[in-house]
A = this chain, B = another copy of it.
Amino acid sequence: MSSENDFVKEIANKDEDWSQWYVDVIRKAELADYSPVRGCMVVRPYGFAIWEAMKEGLDRRIKETGHQNAYFPLFIPESLLQKEADHVEGFAPEVAWITKGGNEPLAEPLAVRPTSEAIICSMYSKWIQSYRDLPVLINQWANVVRWEKVTRPFLRTTEFLWQEGHTAHRTGDEAQEEVLRMLAVYQDFVENDMAIPVIPGRKTEREKFAGAHSTYSIEALMQDGKALQAGTSHNLAQHFAKVFDITYLDEDSQLKYVHQTSWGVSTRLVGALIMVHGDNRGLKIPPKLAPVQLVIVPIAPKKAREMVLAKAEELKTALRGAGIRVHLDAREEYSPGYKFNDWEMRGVPLRLEVGPRDIENNQVVLVRRDTGEKIATALPDLEAAIPQLLSAIQDNMLAIARDFMEENSFQAANLAEMEAIISTKRGFVYAWWCGSEECELEAKERMSATIRNIPLDQEAAGSKAPREAKCVRCGKEAREVAIFARAY
């Protein structure tokens, strides 16, 4: 049996070997495991419980904004995928192909969906006839497959889980409203449930979704200073409507093409959660998403064991009744110290310690995962104290992540300044950009920094950028501030 220190030593130090730390935490907290299938992971029960909590928070918001769930086929005939030129060009290199069904070769290969625009558009062209059929507001929870060369659990895997919204509207204005509405929904979920601050903004032409008119994203900053795109929302305009012939008869008796959007977030968010909140003791899960919000660890010498366990059981029942997700760790084969480490590794927000002396004093000790603070709490106060503490932890985690993002947001007036930052501290670099692809590309080639997005709130972005509105690379007059960063 490993000692307390061995337990923590089993993961790399995050400041020394960040990549190793990341996979160690995933393995040690039993979030996921490698599978015998190239690039595919297994999401283990603890990791899946986090994803289920995320799904719940997102699904509720998606339904509250008027969307309904549906399910479309996993397979897309090659000819459908090829209809929209930019779309197929973007996705073809990543597609897994079915060429045999049963024991017969197929007449036409089937793509395993890398995203579902093509198959969904083929249905919309059937379903949408009149302006009365609009808007169509559909979401799908599904698995998708992209044949990736280099994979990392949660961040980039051949198969991953996501939701993809696909909507059709009467006007371009309505579609654009929807695009920004869903971006705001993502921001609300990621900030309030995941305790991760993000910057919403527009992607550049180079970085937009294959087939989209424009793409918007929310961008988060990981503790290693690299950015992670946490969600995207696309305005497809009429690109797909024209090739899939999705038309409606408008009130004025004119046949018109619909305006479409699509938007999605994926299991990638679990990777963000690890990389924003984790520390050298393991995961930290925000209380709103924690499968276990409070773990009870009984601390009992052998002769008091029965009495302490009985008290622990009683507390578990009472706290569950109060709506708190409680686990009682009654394992006999592990020491309390081992259990402390184990549940810290799993990121449980609160630990409750109870021993014979505590029972005598009619109290327990609560320990916060975020600060390590120990709080002796009288039993009569417990049910009121825990929700308050969970709420304080949630707020504190967001505040810490926000401070980190602020402290790691820099400005650069030219590429040399940018390079100095990117090569030492990384982080978000706010800089003016003239809008040319040439200038964008030079930052990428020189320091692997891409434009994450052009923040929607240009006023706030401007206040973080150099005073002179001149392009960071060519020095020409610039109208917009962009965020540059290295990214996952």
Chain A residues with a Cβ under 8 A of chain B: 33, 35-37, 40-45, 48-49, 51-52, 68-77, 80, 92-103, 109-110, 112, 119, 122-123, 126-127, 132, 138, 142-143, 145, 147, 149, 158-159, 161, 333
Which listed residue (B36, B68, B93, B94) contacts A122, Cβ 8 A? B36
Which listed residue (B40, B44, B74, B122) contacts A70, Cβ 8 A? B44
A70 touching B45 by the CB < 8 A rule? Answer: yes
Q: Which residues of B contact A74 (CB under 8 A)?
A: 40, 112, 143, 145, 159
| Nearest CB of chain B from residue A133's CB, rounded to whole Å | 12
A selection of 22 A-B contacts at a CB cut-off of 8 Å is A33-B123, A35-B123, A36-B119, A37-B73, A37-B77, A37-B110, A42-B73, A42-B123, A43-B71, A44-B70, A45-B68, A45-B138, A48-B68, A48-B69, A74-B145, A74-B159, A94-B102, A96-B110, A97-B99, A98-B98, A112-B112, A143-B143
- Give the number of copies in the complex: 2
Which listed residue (B45, B73, B109, B145) contacts A159, Cβ 8 A? B73
B100 touching A37 by the CB < 8 A rule? Answer: no
18 additional A-B residue pairs with CB within 8 Å, beyond A33-B127, A44-B70? A33-B123, A35-B73, A36-B80, A37-B77, A43-B71, A45-B69, A45-B138, A48-B70, A71-B161, A74-B143, A74-B145, A75-B159, A96-B110, A97-B101, A98-B99, A98-B112, A100-B109, A102-B149
B69 touching A333 by the CB < 8 A rule? Answer: no
Q: A95-B102, A102-B93 are in contact. Are A72 and B147 (CB under 8 A)?
A: no
Residue of B nearest to A112 (CB): B98
| Nearest CB of chain B from residue A104's CB, rounded to whole Å | 8
Q: Which residues of B contact A36 (CB under 8 A)?
A: 77, 80, 119, 122
Which listed residue (B45, B71, B98) contacts A42, Cβ 8 A? B71
Q: Which residues of B contact A97 (CB under 8 A)?
A: 98-101
A42 to B36 Cα, complex, angstroms: 31
| Nearest CB of chain B from residue A116's CB, rounded to whole Å | 11
A99 touching B99 by the CB < 8 A rule? Answer: yes
A103 touching B99 by the CB < 8 A rule? Answer: no
Q: A37-B119, A74-B143 are in contact. Are A100 and B99 (CB under 8 A)?
A: yes
Q: Which residues of B contact A71 (CB under 8 A)?
A: 42-43, 48, 51, 161
A142 to B143 Cα, complex, angstroms: 9
A357 to B72 Cα, complex, angstroms: 46
Q: A71-B42, A96-B98, A97-B98 are in contact. Are A37 and B159 (CB under 8 A)?
A: no
| Nearest CB of chain B from residue A115's CB, rounded to whole Å | 15
Q: Which residues of B contact A70 (CB under 8 A)?
A: 42-45, 48
A333 to B130 Cα, complex, angstroms: 13
A74 to B70 Cα, complex, angstroms: 20
Q: Which residues of B contact A68 (CB under 8 A)?
A: 45, 48-49
Which listed residue (B92, B102, B126, B143) contacts A33, Cβ 8 A? B126
A35 to B74 Cα, complex, angstroms: 11
Residue of B nearest to A149 (CB): B102
A119 touching B35 by the CB < 8 A rule? Answer: yes
Q: Which residues of B contact A42 (CB under 8 A)?
A: 70-73, 123
A40 touching B75 by the CB < 8 A rule? Answer: yes
Q: Which residues of B contact A102 (CB under 8 A)?
A: 93-95, 147, 149
Q: Which residues of B contact A37 (CB under 8 A)?
A: 73, 75-77, 110, 119
A42 to B132 Cα, complex, angstroms: 22
A161 to B72 Cα, complex, angstroms: 11
Q: A95-B102, A102-B93 are in contact. Are A72 and B112 (CB under 8 A)?
A: no
Q: Which residues of B contact A122 (CB under 8 A)?
A: 35-36
A45 to B149 Cα, complex, angstroms: 35
Q: Which residues of B contact A99 (CB under 8 A)?
A: 97-100
Which listed residue (B35, B51, B52) contacts A72, Cβ 8 A? B35
Residue of B nearest to A140 (CB): B48
A126 to B92 Cα, complex, angstroms: 35
A99 to B74 Cα, complex, angstroms: 16
Q: Which residues of B contact A100 (CB under 8 A)?
A: 96-97, 99, 109
